[in-house]
């Protein structure tokens, strides 16, 4: 695996890149949409709903968890997921600010 140069970019640029990486795969978009509609679902329900193998779903859940978008609850031997709405709002604000500022910069030309 290659060495990343994240240190040469500011915190906001890295945050934008992390959020966009998280939603850069259609399976992750589908997982987020499913969890937002079906709070407290586990990996098995995601496998049935989305149609991907359990290890694949687990890997995508891991990528989503890296940015903190998912809350986890343990019930018995099962792990259930829900959307962390505070992190969802932060993600939305960060991405919206990026696009608004970019559009403003373009219109100044």
Task: List CB contacts of 102: < 8 A, sequence separation 6 or more.
Answer: none
Task: List CB contacts of 74: < 8 A, sequence separation 6 or more.
Answer: 80
In whole angstroms, what is the distance from residue 81 CA to residue 43 CA?
Answer: 8
Identify the pLDDT of residue 107: 87
In whole angstroms, what is the distance from residue 27 CA to residue 85 CA?
Answer: 20
Domain formed by 9-100, architecture? Orthogonal Bundle (1.10)
Quick one: tokens of 4? 């990343």
- Of 11, 12, 10, 27, the C-alpha closest to 63 is 27
Quick one: tokens of 70? 């998912």
Per-residue pLDDT of the chain (109 residues), as tens digits, is 455 787 889 999 999 999 999 999 999 999 999 999 997 899 999 999 999 999 999 999 999 999 999 999 999 999 999 999 999 999 999 999 999 999 999 987 6
């Amino acid at each position: 695996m290659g060495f990343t140069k994240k240190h040469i970019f500011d915190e906001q640029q890295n945050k934008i890149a992390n959020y966009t990486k998280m939603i850069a795969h259609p399976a992750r978009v589908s997982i987020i949409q499913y969890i937002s509609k079906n709070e407290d679902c586990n990996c098995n329900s995601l496998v049935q709903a989305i149609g991907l193998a359990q290890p694949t779903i687990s890997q995508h859940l891991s990528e989503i968890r890296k940015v903190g978008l998912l809350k986890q609850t343990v019930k018995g031997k099962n792990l259930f997921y829900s959307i962390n709405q505070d992190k969802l709002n932060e993600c939305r604000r960060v991405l919206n600010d990026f696009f608004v500022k970019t559009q403003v910069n373009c219109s100044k030309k």
